[in-house]
Structure 1
Amino acid sequence: MTDALCHIVVDGNEVLELKLVRSPKDIESDETSFSSEMCHQVFGDNENIFGYTDLHIKLYYTAGSLQTYLGIEYTDKIEPSTYEGMKADDVEGALKKVLAPGYVTNLDNFVSLLAKDESFLPYGQLIHKFSLLPRHGGDKRQFEVYYSETSTPNFLSFHQRLQTFLLWYVDAASFIDVDDDQWTFFTVYEKYGVSEGGWRYATVAYATVYRYYAYPRHTRPRIAQVLTLPPFRKLGICAQLLQAIYSHYIPLPEVLDITVEDPSGEFQRIRDYVDAKNCETLPAFQPAKLLQGYSSEMANQACNKFKINKKQARRIYEILRLKNTNTSDKTAYLNYRLDVKNRLNAPFQKKKLEMQKLQKFLKPEEYAATINATGLSNTHSRLASEYIPLEQDYRRVIHRMEY
């Protein structure tokens, strides 16, 4: 692209402004605005928008029901007749493909929707309440978690608006098939008072959970999508949401265990924190037993009490053992590191035994090349590269537990 055209190419994240609007004054306030973290799923891999001068995209949602306003402003737009046939990107067309039907493009219409939002009530069944202190002081904030299914009245149209946030904050996000009634939903709302009296609700976070079948008459719920909206992050809401999901499914006798689909690093740390806090209360995870090594008793108690699967139970053991290990004691700390590294190395040991069986059928150079390709020849450096970031993650979880 020539330098002459560079001024009409902008980063979509820089020109997109999002808001969760509670009252008309929020529309004009910069404090209520927040940005997207990505936009390639809407505007293309390079995240650029071409063809406009002073482009500004406003994507505003009423705080409760998430009724949507789309405003697209610019001072100039290129015309094919003056730019060698090149057309400006169709911004509204790209957004229309992902926004729920019914969005408005007139700000006065949006304000009228805002008035209706005053009577908004959460969808589904209330399953959990909690309160949190604001980061900068002030009164406690009240939150509620509601459980919904695809059959919950009016929920799916609300969810259609809510899921659009995934595109700005979750890489490779996809909208779920709501025709499948095995999907369940957990939504967090803030319950807040207003000056004229009464209560209102604002949408805060949500998670989707799919109930997988497990032979013969069981289910294995899998947490698929979890998103806390940007204005509500760093408050501890996601941990409360996860605990609410657990509290819903743990008592159900048909549930074998609760799993997570491809968790991000951040969500895995939250999961570790919640699971570690829970497992700390179990007899098998008390300090004296942790220092004796991982046991089937730990796996059984974690599953029976909290529906934690074996892989996650082992991880929680490692976190709690580190928490209870005196790392100033060189022997105790060495024993801990060796225990974790043996677990990390187990799949490679199995692979090495398989390769030894194969060795007699390969030429020496073929065997050496295969060993190098699988990483089996460099065990020490490989284990170090796996172990160091793992312990760093564990320490972050422990720090939060002690905070």
Structure 2
Amino acid sequence: MAGLTPMEKKLAEYKCDTNEAIKLKLVRFQEDIEDESTTFNPEFSHQLFGDDEVAFGYKGLQMQLYYSAGSLSTMFRVLYTANVNEKFDSVQADDVESKIRDIIPAGFCAGIDDFISLLEKEVNFRSFGTILHTYTIHNDEAGEDITYQITKADMTCPGFREYHERLQTFLMWFIETASFIDVDDDRWDFFLLFEKYNKDGATLFATVGYMTVYNYYVYPDKTRPRVSQMLILPPFQGEGHGAQLYESVHRYYMSSENILDVTAEDPSDNFVRLRDYVFVKLCQDLPSFAPENLHSGLSGEMVTEARQKLKINKKHARRVYEILRLRATDLSDQEKARAYRLDIKKRLVGPYKKNQRELAKMRRCLNPEELTNQMNQIDLKTQHEQLEESYQQIIAEYRRTVERLAQA
């Protein structure tokens, strides 16, 4: 804080990192409320608190957003050890409470006792919609198999609209460009993931994650579902639930004749990795993707079979082929490694060839100086370096998928 005036230094003590100050919790048992190990923080808070993700006016700020594990009944309260208003009459603290009130639906409580009363009603909460898939994962710590349930719900399910309003608040904290959707548009599909757990001899449901999908019309008689939002809540991440949810949703659409293919809106890098894994898992058993067919390049049969049987489009079928071919290629064999590398780079070089075609058109209308500038931008040596860098990045990603398949 060099260069600050004494007053500025004192005021700087009242700045808080909002990603640290926001305390999130999914509560199953009363003792979870005071258990710090069950608390987690958001990845993002810029949509409410600006790009700096800072709140001014408090010391020891805590914005506690606690949810019951199943129905997501909410407790919200703001705590702090000092407020700038108490020391400086002319300085105003940020109204952090109203910022969060803007995104959480009405009906939340503000005290521990009221929240405990809401927890006692969790025994009446049940998962929404139609069950699509059930699976178990062995929990070493608990020494038992935990059961999970994936369902498809809609706004006609009693209580789902209000539940979804509470659920979608998590998007603001964990998806960088998140926005709330128009739930009254009947082209939206909602998929939910729950854990079944025991409490005092009763079976209860905990919310694990969810996905929203929008169904676009494709002329003349097809539909293209597009994944819009997908989130596995932080306490459940890294356990394979994302793959279970995505595969279940994809299989749901695979069974419909009017589905052309399934896509995603502005997918993150993590989502692309997840999709690669699920699509490769599905495609590896198709006859056209058999190991003996992979070294001849991407075939029309692969593209057709992936689309017709699995609703996977050509672009994604190409990635699946490249990953499966990597798995089937002995890279210590220089000839096979070279053939694989050339096959990948042949696809990657496409954008560079497009630039060259555009440059050829420019020759007719650019003067010599302008043409030289354009030529410098498309320097061949730079192209080769960029191409090699892209290849290495792709191979690193593909290896991660291959390793995950091996572990599975």
The alignment's TM-score, normalised by the length of structure 2, stands at 0.95
The equivalent of 2:193 in structure 1 is: 188
Corresponding residue of 2:144: 139
Question: Which blocks of at least 5 consecutive residues in structure 1 are unaligned?
Answer: none
1:362 aligned residue: 366
How is 1:210-229 mapped onto 2 (pairs within 5 angstroms)? Answer: 210-229=214-233
Amino acid at match of 1:24: Q
CA–CA distance in structure 1, aligned partners of residues 169 and 310 of structure 2: 32
Q: Is the 8 A contact 1:38 1:167 kept in 2?
A: yes
Measure the CA separation in 1 of the matches of 2:321 and 2:329. 12
> How far apart are residue 137 of structure 1 and its match?
6.8
Q: Does 1:4 align with 2:6?
A: no
Cα distance between partner residues in 2 of 1:135 and 1:309 = 39
What amino acid is aligned across from residue 91 of structure 1 in structure 2?
Answer: V
| Correspondence 1:113-192 to 2 at 5 A | 113-134=118-139, 136=141, 138-192=143-197
- Note the residue ranges of structure 2 that are not aligned, 5 or more in a row: none
Q: How does 1:4-403 map to 2 (within 5 A)?
A: 4-79=10-85, 83=88, 85-134=90-139, 136=141, 138-194=143-199, 196-373=200-377, 378-403=382-407
Give 1:76 shift: 2.0
1:14 positional shift: 1.4
Distance 2:216 2:111 in 1: 43
Change (3 A) 1:375 1:262: farther
Q: Offset at 1:336?
A: 0.6
| Cα distance change, pair 375–199 in 1 and its aligned pair in 2 (3 A) | farther
Aligned-partner Cα distance in 1 for 2:179–2:390: 30
Structure 1: 4+ residue segments shifted above 6 A: none
Amino acid at match of 2:258: E
Answer whether contact 1:209 1:222 (CA < 8 A) is retained: yes
* Cα distance in 2, alignment partners of residues 353 and 345 from structure 1: 13
One-letter amino acid of the structure 2 residue matched with residue 190 of structure 1: E
- In structure 2, the CA distance between the partners of 1:400 and 1:25, relative to structure 1 (3 Å rule), is same
Identity %: 42
The answer to whether the 8 Å contact 2:123/2:202 transfers is no
SS in 2 for 1:212: strand
Change (3 A) 1:375 1:4: farther
Residues 156-165 or 33-42, more deviating: 33-42
The Cα of 1:57 is off from its aligned counterpart by 1.7
1:375 is displaced (CA, Å) by 6.5
After superposition, give the CA deviation of every residue in 1:347-400 in whole Å (9 maximum; x if it has no partner).
321331232133133223212322344666722011122111111000000000
Moved more, 354-363 or 313-322: 354-363
Normalising by structure 1, report the TM-score: 0.96
Cα 1:179–1:290, aligned 2, differ >3 Å: closer, same or farther?
A: same
Contact residue 195 and residue 206 of structure 2 kept, 8 A: yes
Partners of 1:331 and 1:137 lie apart in 2 by: 50
Given residue 12 of structure 1, which amino acid in structure 2 is its aligned partner? T
Count, aligned residues: 401
Conserved? CA contact 1:128–1:145, under 8 Å: yes
| Residue identity in the other structure for 1:283 | P
What is the deviation of 1:156? Answer: 1.6
Whole-Å Cα distance in 2 between the matches of residues 256 and 376 of structure 1?
40
Distance 1:367 1:115 in 2: 74
| 1:84 Cα deviation after fit | 5.9
- 2:373 and 2:161 map into 1 onto residues whose CA distance is 54
RMSD, aligned CA: 1.6
Equivalent residues of 1:290, 1:317 under 8 A apart: yes
Displacement of 1:152 after TM fit? 2.9
CA distance in structure 1 between the partners assigned to 2:160 and 2:376 by the alignment? 54
Counterpart contact for 2:137–2:147, Cα < 8 Å: yes
Do the aligned partners of residues 372 and 68 (structure 1) sit closer, same or farther apart at CA in structure 2, a change above 3 Å counting?
farther
